[in-house]
Structure 1
Amino acid sequence: MDRVEQLLGQARDATGLNNFGEDSFREGLERLVASADAEADFNPAGKMGFDMQIVGLLCNRLRIEDWYSRHPEIDEQEIVAPLIGLGLPRTGSTALSCLLAEDPAIRYLRNWESNEPCPPPELATQHDDPRIARAEEMMRRRDEHFPRMKAMLPSTATGPMECQNLMGFDFKSQIFQAFGNIPGYVHWLNHEADLVSTYRYVKRVLKLLQWRCPPTNWRLKNPSHSLFIDALDAVFPDARFWMTHRDIGSVIPSVADLYFELRRNGCDNVDLHAIGAEVTDFCELGMRRMIAFRDAGNEARFFDIHFAPFQQDPFPAMAALYEFLGEEFTVETRERMQDWRRENARDKFTIERTPPETFGIDFAQLAQRFAFYNQRFGIAAAR
């Protein structure tokens, strides 16, 4: 039995279920496993973590399909005009999504339900669901294994989560490359894979999550959507977007350091220059695709937010965003956002950053390479 079949079998055994749904996930799974086995150079802990991640995603997919088979009416749910955050990572998008999550009139993807979407959450029990405690324990273990993550990517069990896990159910997601050097899979994902099936599955999960737990006014976020914007648009043609911006000389080192933190426990010999090149490549590709999409008649669907003024005072931008959406920015929502901001000060955690040159980053070359982006959005270099 080959590796993929072993992983599929482990998921079947763990759940007692057999139906994975449509086969769209299989090519990504096969390419991912082949790339990881041949290229990732995982140590024993890394190999174990990789297999656990794959089996966990497969188990969730089996459970999702089981709920749909028993309740086909779930598919009648509609996802209407979601607001989706995208752009470069490490540009303040996490803080912005957390502020948006404070609006009681909207629905966002919560960390705990991203980890375990089944059984679908219910309105009456959503705040004391046992999965919240399990997510909190998972985050505690994460902080033990990745001690700098608390400062790099602060999050809570009930806070907003990117769509990465949902994309992972179709095995076309950036989530995998964060934990290991898998260039074969990354090239396929960025240049050859068709992600329409992936976003259809994202929509399938969102329908499940809102079925018994409204509201249905979704606020989503994932910087890597920029790479696959045409496929995203094919599945969510009525979506509107917010896009955060920051000097690329601050973005690339921060993303590279995040990848380093996530990889070093599972690999004894992390290639830092490879991380720097990989991050730079996908950031450039994503921005070129994003600008092309905007220039192809979609500019009116975007709301832009710049990092520095947003960090200093986010509320002018939030008020303008609500005006862009044609929605009321209520006093209650503003006060809840203010409370969140006070409780989550930027300097709450401090860490030692890895020097940018360690990743082979040359700021002059970055400025030249991303001049198209800086000029398009009026971004001044911070260096």
Structure 2
Amino acid sequence: MSRISDLLDAARGATGLDNFGDDSFREGLERLIASGDGEARLNDAGRRMFDGQIVMLLMKRLEVEDWYARHPEIDEQEIVAPLMVLGLPRTGSTALHCLLGEDPAVRVMRNWECMNPCPPPETATYDTDPRIALMDEQMKRRDEMTPRMKQMLPSTSTSPTEDQLTMGYNFVSQIFQASFHIPSYAQWLHHDADLEPTFRYVKRVLKLLQWRCPPGRWRLKNPTYSMFITALDKVFPDARYCMTHRDVANVIPSVADLYYEMHKPNTDTPDKLWLGKINEEFGLLGMQRMIAFRDAGNEQRFFDIHFAPFQKDPFPTMAKLYEFLGEEFTPEAEARMRAWRENTPRDKHGRHEYDGADYGLSTAELRETFRFYTDRYEVPLGKD
């Protein structure tokens, strides 16, 4: 326990705060540390990264709780009918999220505020907040450490981002296995963890971000939603969903390669076969649970998007999505989206090349394993 106590004390010392809120984060933290210390084979840089990330997340949690303690009225904020983008990763969901984020009538979580939500942003300074420049520097360092990341996940400090890091405030998140070899933690996360408290904490952070910086029509995106859809639904019962689709042979190996790029700085012995296995498991469980949820009377809450036609021309699909939501697709929103697309062409930083065989993944076997999913949603198989 001294290991955990030392990390908690480091966060307290760095912030001068001591209230972590409820104890829902402790099981995930304990399992993460046990798995990281026992299985991750960290090098010196990896150990600093592992401990540093834990302390950083604990600090953010302390800061969130401090704002709530001083301003309990934050909890009166309502998160109403968010649109949640989900499905397998690497299916065009990032581009979709970025396009959605160009609509000035909606709210997305952007990289800089996800990394530093406190003090909560304000409308008057949202576009000039000094944390944007701070995030610029952090992203430059990321690109220097892992230069292929720009090909895999082109992003800026103001780009919309997933709430994976926010889930990390509760230490129940896939961000950890994306960077560290932690099989026992991943096993617990995929099969035994209770995600409802984590999604409630995500909502807590959304309320904080919305408090002084409306609008409150949220557009959220996270592939993890698919795996934990029933817990997500308990916390956001009025959510609508947009599910993106693509050939799994262009998805699972790509994610494994992304994880490999993130693992490399932290260990001298990255395990490519485990990266393939854990991502195939994540995708399989996610699609099985998602289909069961849709079949349980929730089909009308979903809007489906296929990768290739959306990449070719997203705007007919965007118009239909707004119609599904019952919202106006304004000329201003469309113009801003078109400008973003022209300035952010696909493969802007080079094409992401990878070989699934490096990760023990076979195109034929993946397609057979996921046939229940691709047949159901008529997902085209082949290069796109």
TM-score for both structures, normalised by structure 2: 0.99
Q: How far 1:271 sits from its partner (Å)?
A: 1.1
Aligned to 1:114: 114
Amino acid across the alignment from 1:228: F
Equivalent position of 1:229 in the other structure: 229
* Residue number in structure 1 paired with 2:293: 293
Where structure 1 has 5 or more consecutive residues not aligned to the other structure, the ranges are none
Which 4+ runs in 1 deviate beyond 3 A? none
Matched, 1:277 2:283: no
Identify the residue that residue 248 of structure 2 maps to in structure 1. 248
Q: Which amino acid aligns with 2:28?
A: G
Distance 1:254 1:82, change over 3 A: same
Check the 8 A contact 1:195/1:228 in 2, yes or no: yes
2:308 counterpart residue number: 308
In structure 1, the partner of 2:159 is 159
CA deviations on 1:313-348 (whole Å, 9 max, x unpaired) are 001110000000000001111110000000000131
Residues 146, 262 of structure 2: 8 Å contact kept: yes
Residue 210 of structure 1 corresponds to which residue in structure 2? 210
Instruction: Report how far residue 253 of structure 1 moved.
Output: 1.2
* 1:34-73 alignment, distance < 5 Å: 34-73=34-73
What are the equivalent positions in structure 2 for 1:259-278 lying under 5 Å apart?
Answer: 259-278=259-278
Measure the CA separation in 1 of the matches of 2:91 and 2:373: 14
**Residue range with higher mean Cα deviation, 332-341 or 348-357:** 348-357
1:8–1:58: 8 Å Cα contact kept in structure 2? yes
Q: Percent identity?
A: 63
Offset of 1:352 from its aligned partner?
A: 5.8
Cα deviation code 1:149-168 (max 9, x no counterpart): 01100111111010101100
- 2:317 and 2:155 mapped to 1: Cα distance? 22
The structural deviation recorded for 1:107 is: 0.5
**Partner Cα distance (1:304, 1:368) in 2:** 22
- After superposition, the C-alpha distances for 1:190-232 in whole angstroms (9 at most, x for unaligned) are 1111111001000000000000001011000001111110000
Contact 1:148 1:351 in 2 (8 A): no
Instruction: Determine if the alignment matches structure 1 residue 180 to structure 2 residue 175.
Output: no
1:222 and 1:368 map into 2 onto residues whose CA distance is: 25
Asked if 1 retains the 8 angstrom alpha-carbon contact of 2:154 and 2:349, the reply is: no
Partner SS, residue 324 of structure 2: helix
User: Is 1:363 matched with 2:363?
Assistant: yes
For residue 265 of structure 2, give the secondary structure of its aligned residue in structure 1. coil
Which residue in 1 is equivalent to 2:11? 11
Distance 2:77 2:352 in 1: 46
Structure 1: how far apart are the matches of 2:29 and 2:347?
39
Give distance in 1, aligned partners of 2:278 and 2:159. Answer: 29
Asked if the contact 1:143–1:149 (Cα under 8 Å) also holds between the matched residues in 2, the reply is yes
Gaps of 5+ in 2: none
SS of 1:108 mapped into structure 2: coil
| Separation of aligned partners in 1, 2:161 and 2:7 | 26
Residue 98, structure 1, aligned to residue 62, structure 2: no
| Matched letter for residue 299 of structure 1 | E
Q: Distance in 1 between matches of 2:271 and 2:169?
A: 28
Render the CA deviation track for 1:175-200: whole Å, top value 9, x for unaligned: 10000110100111111111110010
1:29 and 2:33 are equivalent in the alignment? no
Let me know the Cα RMSD of the aligned residues.
0.9
Q: Distance in 2 between matches of 1:264 and 1:177?
A: 13
| Matched residue SS, 2:228 | helix
Distance in 1 (CA, whole Å) between partners of 2:370 and 2:354 is 22
Which residue is equivalent to 2:142?
142
Change (3 A) 1:123 1:352: closer
- Report the AA paired with residue 76 of structure 1: E
Whole-angstrom distance in 2 between the partners of 1:347 and 1:174: 25
Distance in 2 between the 1:35 and 1:268 partners?
Answer: 17
1:323-342 correspondence runs (5 A): 323-342=323-342
Q: TM-score, normalised to structure 1's length?
A: 0.99
Contact 1:111 1:160 in 2 (8 A): yes
Q: Could you give the per-residue CA deviations for residues 222-244 of structure 1, whole angstroms, max 9, x where no partner exists? A: 01111110000000000000010
Using the alignment, how far apart are the partners of 1:380 and 1:77 within structure 2? 42
Residues 78-131 of structure 1: CA deviation (Å, up to 9, x unaligned): 000000000000000000000000000000001101001000001111111111
Q: Secondary structure at the match of 1:241?
A: strand
Q: What SS class does the counterpart of residue 178 from structure 2 fall into?
A: coil
* Aligned counterparts of 2:352 and 2:70: Cα–Cα separation in 1: 50
Q: Aligned partners of 1:333, 1:354: CA distance in 2, in Å?
A: 35
> What is the correspondence of 1:78-89 to structure 2 with a 5 Å cutoff?
78-89=78-89
8 Å contact from structure 2 (residues 152, 352) kept in 1:
no
